[in-house]
Structure 1
Amino acid sequence: MQKDHLFTRRRMLLAGAAAAGAAGTAGAILAAGGEETAGTAAPAGGPQARQALKPSAFRLQPLTGYGPPRAAPRKLKVRKEPILQISGRGRRMVLTFDDGPNPAYTPHILDTLAKYDVRAMFFVCGECVVDNRELLVRMADEGHVVGNHTWTHPLLTTMNRKEIRSEMERTSDVIEDTYGDRPQWFRAPYGAWNRAAFQLGAELGMEPMAWTVDTTDWEVPGTDTIIDRVEGGAAPGVVVLSHDAGGDRSQTVRAIREWLPYLIDSGYHLTVPSRRPT
């Protein structure tokens, strides 16, 4: 599929979704361009602070008027631990942003990434996607990887299997209905994993990804502290956790403008992972 055609399809999906809403209402991974990667360990970092959103009864229906019917996800091997890092040739790192999209902060982060021609991963919450579809389309159009971070950002370890599936599946559905592709990556809110999350993620075709370096921006610790966390934790294979929603992220927006060029000047290649085809 040509890039222009893909973009057109995504725009059609976005327009169709908006119209539907008005009428009725994301083992082995690869660093892109690099070698086989593998890195699993127990989740790291503290809880991800997030302002509670009002419960939503919204359930997006498939847009059957555009594109082929939704294909069943490719089932994966069930992991026992999330992926924490990548490995490969060179000084490669992965940047990830959780909890969005948010119109107050996500566009500024996307602008900074675009300025330095850097790709990142965005683990989005389904209920945030509903009102900010254009930001999800922009992420995809600019080459970023969109991952699944559940619908309402709950603590999965307190939920039953049916509830966890609903959180994950609804989010994968709204991502696909917005720009045409189902997510291939999942991140558990608060880094709280359990057996059901690993099993259901694999059933839905998603690999579990955690992080290596927590910026602690969820604590709003100050721009300088966030910068120090990223620059001090930088190393080949690192996965950096930041947030573009879930609270006041103005410090995150300011910090990335400082630490991103620092990493690039230090010889790091900021990349996104891809999975080895089976």
Structure 2
Amino acid sequence: MTSAPDAPGGAVDPVAEPVVRAQGTGLVAALTFDDGPNGADTERLLDLLRDTSIRAVFAVIGENVLARGGADLLRRTVAEGHVLCNHSMSFADMGGWPAERVADDLRATLRTIRDALGDPAAPVPYWRAPNGSWGVTAGVAVELGMQPLGVVNTIQDWEVQDVETLSASLRAAIRPGELVLAHDGGGDRSGTVTAVERVVRERLADGWTFTLPLPR
């Protein structure tokens, strides 16, 4: 792979306040997934989204892109129309980091993503801080052309992978006009994916539409 230049992330007029709303009105919500790409869990999510014609945001970890199979999953994610979010090179808490260190990490993640895609200017319009620990990261992301993406309506799937528990949490987390956050990486997320498969199909049957985050 070749090193890519530091092109801006691709957000239009980003601001430091994180986006928390979904596009559209009525029964709409935006699906966002963190911590991938991650083998079979990401594959299953992509299968679901393809079969239901839903686009989502995937907040990816640079180390996972570099892991075995990660680049292939990332390329599939983009090829199928999903939107990328920079989620740092690792799972480190960046809340106490100085701006220069944050910028180095965000740039490294952008380069890793773009090298995997073979596109030095591939759009990565969002930034989401690991663990929701923002510190100065939102301002740095804006300077690098990325819009911070809110950490809201989580289902706490880092604590449990029981499908019934997660299904109930996801039903409560899908709220009209808002984002919802689940994880396809950071460990075994098979329970999360099963819950997403179940609840997304329920919501579609009930007349919901899944969109993308509301642009600034």
Q: TM-score, normalised by structure 2?
A: 0.89
**1:192 paired residue number:** 133
Percent identity of paired positions between Structure 1 and Structure 2:
34
| 1:218-237 correspondence runs (5 A) | 218-237=158-177
The alignment partner of 1:210 has SS state of coil
| 1:105-116 correspondence runs (5 A) | 105-116=41-52
Offset, 1:204: 0.8
**2:37 paired residue number:** 101
Is 1:246 the counterpart of 2:186 in the alignment? yes
Structure 1 residues 221 and 251, CA gap change in structure 2 (3 angstroms): closer
CA contact (8 A) 2:6 2:107 kept: no
Measure, in 2, the Cα distance between the counterparts of 1:174 and 1:142. 20
Is 1:129 the counterpart of 2:74 in the alignment? no
Letter in structure 2 aligned against 1:228? A
Question: 5+ unaligned residues in a row in structure 1: which ranges?
Answer: 1-16, 21-60, 63-68
1:266 to 197, 206, 212: 206
**2:102 paired residue number:** 164
CA contact (8 A) 2:34 2:184 kept: yes
Measure, in 2, the Cα distance between the counterparts of 1:163 and 1:99. 20
Structure 1 residues 224 and 157, CA gap change in structure 2 (3 angstroms): same
Offset, 1:182: 3.1
1:206 to 146, 152, 164: 146
CA contact (8 A) 2:170 2:195 kept: no
Measure, in 2, the Cα distance between the counterparts of 1:92 and 1:77. 23
Structure 1 residues 253 and 73, CA gap change in structure 2 (3 angstroms): closer
- 1:164-192 CA-to-partner distances (Å, cap 9, x unmatched) read 11211111112222222131000000011
CA contact (8 A) 2:41 2:185 kept: yes
**1:153 paired residue number:** 91
Q: Please, which moves more after superposition, 86-95 or 130-139?
A: 86-95
Measure, in 2, the Cα distance between the counterparts of 1:267 and 1:243. 24
Offset, 1:233: 2.9
Measure, in 2, the Cα distance between the counterparts of 1:212 and 1:237. 12
Measure, in 2, the Cα distance between the counterparts of 1:134 and 1:199. 31
Q: TM-score, normalised by structure 1?
A: 0.70
Offset, 1:90: 3.0
Offset, 1:72: 4.5
Structure 1 residues 87 and 120, CA gap change in structure 2 (3 angstroms): closer
Query: What RMSD in Å do the two structures reach over aligned CA positions?
Result: 2.0
Measure, in 1, the Cα distance between the counterparts of 2:139 and 2:13. 9
